[in-house]
Structure 1
Amino acid sequence: MSASDWSTKDFYATLGVAKTASAADIKKAYRTLARDNHPDSNPGNKAAEDRFKEVSEAYAVLSNADKRKEYDEQRTLFGQFKGGGFGGGQPGGGAPGQPGGPGVDFDLGDLLGGIFGGGGARGRARGRQSAGRRGDDLETEATITFQQSVDGATLPLRMTSDEACVTCHGTGAKPGTVPQVCTKCQGSGMQTGASGGVFAMTEPCDKCRGRGLVVEHPCETCRGSGRSPSSRTLQVRVPPGVKDGQRIRLKGKGGGGSGGAPDGDLYLVVHVEAHSLFGRKGDHLTITVPVAFDEAAIGAQIQVPTLDGAPVRLKIPAGTPSGRTFRVKAKGGTTKTGGRGDLLVTVDVQVPTELSDAQRAAVEALREARGGIDPRAGLFGAVS
């Protein structure tokens, strides 16, 4: 998107957020609108598809700190010029040689050159030489299983984006023809007109709409826009150890560039389903296993399940309290270096809610053998 394109669009209004909105608020608004208007959820709905494109375009600019700064600066500059210029808002309001001063002919293209990489004659020359456009940055979401988050997975993602037209390769011109340099702005994309005084206002050319080029014979596929909707399926590799809510950048997997410009990036937000037994703690897996009272009291050998299915044997020492955690080496998640974390096993000593006659007799015998020792005696001594 060119600088002049930005001046005519209010991306904040598109996303329904204030200009002061935080990055988190912008992302939240985008996700809601993208989900509601996604082509997969609205098959055959052209209005929803167009709305999805608008939302994606707005988010691509506002989610990038550098692009957002450029956009805000450009909108401010255009707003000042359309409001009557600098220096009090009236022609001649400034000193000679200053914005708004008498005898000054401001070229907004020169001012924007400092922001967008070239203005004046250099910017116009560059505009004639290249009409390339970097592909849009896209964002999508995917839900994976707990097992996939541990081991990694390759996911098929169906993407719909605005790509360079396959018929005209992004030029917007009918095959066999080429766009022509705009005769009104001489390829600069900007035009200068009098504002009713000595102050001149520069704005996007109304003939080429700021492109600097005019398509005399439009491509029948894209009708001269150079862009067309495209659906594709990507095979995306999610690395082992990905966490719930993690945002993964896939360079060059976003919208296609045109005119030799690079493709945009794809940002994948991963959601991980919870597991009925296992949890995560960094590279380690966690599990809580029930242990009977007698196993904790006199010790036992127990079997513990692992995520890969093969159980391991764990020794429970005599006198193990409830809540104690044991470590089983190399039975956890896959690490970034290709190794394995550990399995952290926390025991939960079970207290029976119902006892048979034999069990009750055994517990009463244990109480009698304890000899009346009060395990809470130390608490009262600490108080006094």
Structure 2
Amino acid sequence: MKFQDYYATLGVERGATQDEIKKAYRKAAQKYHPDRNKEPDAEEKFKAVNEAYDVLGDPEKRSRYDTFGANYHAGDEFRPPPGFDYSQFGAGQGGAGFSDFFSSIFGGGFEGAGRRGGRAARGQDFEMSLPLSVREMIEGGSRPVAIDHPEQGRKTLKITVPAGSSPGKKIRLSGQGGSGSGGGPAGDLYLVIELAAGGEFTLEGNQVLYDLPVTPWEAALGEKVPVPTPTGGKINLTIPAGSQSGKRLRVPGKGLAGGDFVVTIQIHTPPAKTEEARAFYQEMKLSMPFDPRV
């Protein structure tokens, strides 16, 4: 039985972090995926990469593997020590479709267990983020999304976002995960919804938040002003007289999944760029004594 150096298979050091191992696996899986690589040995290398990640990507399996691996190199003859208790090392778990070496440690027997081409093994599940705008979360619907698949590289998938979806919700795409081994089914791909950066709307639970710039006279005197809504279009919102920056105005039921649309007033002062503007501010100072810090 030849020892398999899973670290060498993935091209990482033995002290690599789990994140480094995951990145190396994704790179190698893309390189050797049979749908992308037509070299004769691509499929075998792809299986080897999957087997290596099955072990090193699982901290418990990795610990078991490291128990033996310290004194071996790739190609060395390997045999567990006499009297080795497989039950302590997960015997009978996970050897389907992998090599005899894998089965000798994880498959519950040294001779003939879990040979390549035996029972089918399901592919890994993958999880990726799906940035959406507030409007896309509220309205939902079908749409194409481009993703960087860990094994297959850049691809476009058509998905359906349920209306009212909030950050953290997962959309399951059956069979779009990692490839199975030994003829087993592919895993699933989970898209985790998150709020896309750079939008004019933000979220606080199921409340949609918007900062509304207003002039000092709109805030002081009160006025109706147009406000963009999370689902498009505008509404005329009444600014109460005497409003200050930070005041919140609520539009019930216009947020996410029945939440409110909350508009926060932000008073913007016109710049004093001309002599006339500076004279106007000086007149205000003299005729309207006011200290906001008192």
1:73 maps to what in 2?
A: 64
2:240 maps to what in 1?
A: 317
Structure 1 vs Structure 2 CA RMSD? 4.9
Mapped to 2, the partners of 1:69 and 1:325 lie a distance apart of 51
The partner residue of 2:165 within 241, 249, 252 is 241
Secondary structure in structure 2 of the residue aligned to 1:133: coil
Q: Deviations over 1:220-258 (max 9, x none)?
A: xxxxxxxxx9x99754444553548x8765455434546
Mapped to 1, the partners of 2:19 and 2:236 lie a distance apart of 46
1:111 maps to what in 2?
A: 86
Mapped to 2, the partners of 1:322 and 1:362 lie a distance apart of 22
Mapped to 2, the partners of 1:256 and 1:8 lie a distance apart of 21
Name the amino acid aligned to 1:290. Answer: P
Mapped to 2, the partners of 1:34 and 1:149 lie a distance apart of 34
Q: Deviations over 1:282-311 (max 9, x none)?
A: 322222121011011121122210121132
1:301 maps to what in 2?
A: 224
Q: Deviations over 1:97-149 (max 9, x none)?
A: xx6xxxxxx376x636852326459x96x759x92121221537565542434
Is residue 266 of structure 2 the alignment partner of residue 343 of structure 1? no
Superposed, which structure 2 residues align to 1:5-20 within 5 Å? 8-11=4-7, 14=10, 16-19=12-15
Name the amino acid aligned to 2:63. Answer: D
Name the amino acid aligned to 2:285. Answer: R
Distance 1:251 1:120, change over 3 A: same
Secondary structure in structure 2 of the residue aligned to 1:264: coil
Secondary structure in structure 2 of the residue aligned to 1:131: coil
Secondary structure in structure 2 of the residue aligned to 1:285: strand
Mapped to 1, the partners of 2:49 and 2:182 lie a distance apart of 24
Name the amino acid aligned to 1:134. Answer: A
The answer to whether the 8 A contact 1:17-1:26 is kept is: no
The answer to whether the 8 A contact 1:142-1:270 is kept is: yes
The partner residue of 1:328 within 236, 251, 263 is 251
* Structure 2: unaligned runs, 5 residues or longer: 93-106
Count, aligned residues: 269
State the shift of 1:344 in Å: 2.2
Percent of aligned positions with the same letter in both sequences?
A: 30
Mapped to 1, the partners of 2:140 and 2:228 lie a distance apart of 21
Mapped to 2, the partners of 1:38 and 1:344 lie a distance apart of 51
Superposed, which structure 2 residues align to 1:1-384 within 5 Å? 8-11=4-7, 14=10, 16-19=12-15, 21=17, 23-30=18-25, 33=27, 37=31, 58-63=52-57, 65=58, 68-77=59-68, 106=82, 111=86, 115-117=90-92, 119=108, 131-139=118-126, 141=128, 144-146=131-133, 147-154=135-142, 155=144, 235-239=158-162, 240-243=164-167, 250=173, 252-255=175-178, 257=180, 261=184, 263-268=186-191, 273-333=196-256, 339-354=257-272, 363-370=281-288, 372=289, 374-376=291-293, 378=294
Secondary structure in structure 2 of the residue aligned to 1:135: coil
Q: Deviations over 1:146-178 (max 9, x none)?
A: 24344445446689898xxxxxxxxxxxxxxxx
How high is the TM-score relative to the length of structure 2? 0.64
Mapped to 2, the partners of 1:352 and 1:286 lie a distance apart of 25
Distance 1:30 1:311, change over 3 A: farther
Secondary structure in structure 1 of the residue aligned to 2:90: helix
Distance 1:153 1:116, change over 3 A: farther
Mapped to 2, the partners of 1:13 and 1:319 lie a distance apart of 69
* Structure 1: unaligned runs, 5 residues or longer: 87-98, 100-105, 163-228, 334-338, 379-384
Q: Does 342-351 or 248-257 show the bigger shift? A: 248-257
How high is the TM-score relative to the length of structure 1? 0.52
Mapped to 1, the partners of 2:237 and 2:60 lie a distance apart of 58
Mapped to 2, the partners of 1:45 and 1:262 lie a distance apart of 21
The answer to whether the 8 A contact 1:70-1:116 is kept is: no
Secondary structure in structure 2 of the residue aligned to 1:116: coil
Mapped to 2, the partners of 1:12 and 1:152 lie a distance apart of 45
